[in-house]
Chains A and B, each alone.
Chain A
Amino acid sequence: MDRRTFVKRTSLGSAVLFLGGVDALAYDEEVKLPLPPPIDVHEAPLGKRSPLGIPGLYPGRVVEVSDPRSIVRNRVSQPIVGQMLEQGMKELTGESSVRAAWAKFVEPKDVVGIKINPSGAPACCSSPELVREILSAVESVGVPARNIVVYDRFGYEMDIGSYQLLMPPGIRVVGVQGDRLDASGYDANVYCQADFFGEWETRSYMASIVASEVNKIINVPTLKDHSASGVTGCLKNLGYGTFNNVARSHRPPYSFTNPLIGVMCSVEPLRSKSVLNIMDGTRMVWHGGPLTQNQDFIYQAGILMVGTDPVAMDTIELEMIEKKRRDEGAPSVWERNSKSITADGGEFYRDRTKNLFFRQPGHIAAAGKLGLGISDLKQIDHRQVHMG
């Protein structure tokens, strides 16, 4: 990438940041939240953008498939989630055959990355049962097992989720980072740079596996609330699961996850390679995310969502979590009352009314303004399929 493009992307990022910040402040009645700093993006050179890239083949379309049999006594049923996935893929694409539906996204010559979310393992993470069904589907269109890699940034979280054990032989399972400070798995030429709190390292680098190893990414996030960003869905699993050094974007009680999450998802080649999102909602974390192990806040929802537009999917996810929080007597993720904030992590994990940050779910709409999808509920084609 040349200097001219770098400046252009820097300028674009900064402009969007201001819009995102103003939007967030509009909700602010009791506290004054700081505006985010500019973000400079240094991205990979790109020719013509792939039509499969975000927001993909079906902007604004979200298929929600529900089946209460998909999770029973906290165990996910692989046969049932397999059926739900087939139904969702056919509904999303309009194809009558499952194989034809998958062939719209992957082809035999592809090297396919399956981006899971193990961060809440073992209580709530991308279900290995669902991941195995996705692997089977990808192989069914002719992609050999050796060209499929299941990955996330943190190997130790994947260890806790036992993903390495539970994937079929022949599939690569990769944790990009061996430990917290391991930067060897990142591309020094692709990064986002911003100084949020005066941190000594102001860059976040893209994982090499995304920058140069795979050419298609299937995103498998979970349905979760998040103490800093409001929800962790498609966008956060892609953005913060691809770049390193992202925890620096939130320091209690302030969070700049809006707009960093969306900006990261817009960086090439991540944007062009991300072709499909399959959100695991068999379990829904409605408080304490992303790491809680408290089963009191984990609802066995029995849902999958399928789509190519991560903004639309996260918009629906946000609605679901807001509703569940209302039902459970928890404040909105948009809460701006400083009395809701605690500095005690233990209290946060026990008390549904407390949070560590002023959450920033505005990152979803901000990502929409970057062209990554549709965040207006009236424009979202939300299709619901009930099974079982």
Chain B
Amino acid sequence: MSFSPAISRVRKTRISQLISKGKRLDGRELIEYREIKIERGVIGTAEGSAKVNIGKTEVTVGIKIGIEDPFPDTPEEGVLKVNAELVPLASPTFEPGPPDENAIELARVVDRGFRESKAIDLKKLCLVPGKHVLAVYVDIYVLNYDGNLIDASALAALSALLDTKVPKYSVKNGEIVRGEGWESLPITNHPIAITFAKLEDKLVVDPSLAEEEVMDARLTITVDDVGRICAMQKGGGGFLTIEQLLQAVEVARMKANELRKIVLGGG
């Protein structure tokens, strides 16, 4: 991702040959995802958590709830912060250090999906207008990189948010008091990110690591419950045609429904 090692020319040729026949290196169809496994409640110290595997890619998301000052522009809304770490143990190409451009892009694309779809009703997270609101920290921890971090991270984030239990707070005389029990986050939309890689002149969903290493360009489309597009991001140095873009939107809407069923049904 950040620094591509020399790619075997033989493998690149193989991938190209297969693609021209509509096939992929691992035998999948162009619009087929690898096996998706979602497990909720994996981290005891987090208010919400989930671990997602797409093929061998593994991402864990932990949700922490805090009490913060609201942003000046939105004094009656809770705060959502998404951060991603490409932890060095996840790949020989990840270096220790502060988040690099890939980690930052990953976090911001996932964030956009939730923010623009208004997945969390932030207005319901206000405790004292202008002074105290609930902050939802979404920390994406990539544990094994085998391609398609964005979709895995977005699925894990959504699952973790659904898993989250927020302490019940009430306000007495301007003071915040911890009440009894827990409640869920007010989640009103379930955005799903679908990422494509452009190989030769075709778009494939859920690129594996090998495919990401040779792809021309990457396209992520985030779709909400009713098929609206709430985020889009082209990545990688190549280009897309308009036909490819419009076709991808069609496929993304369809795949988002499939993946959403896994998140809501399973876990």
**Pairing of A with B:** no
Residues of B within 8 A of A (CB): none
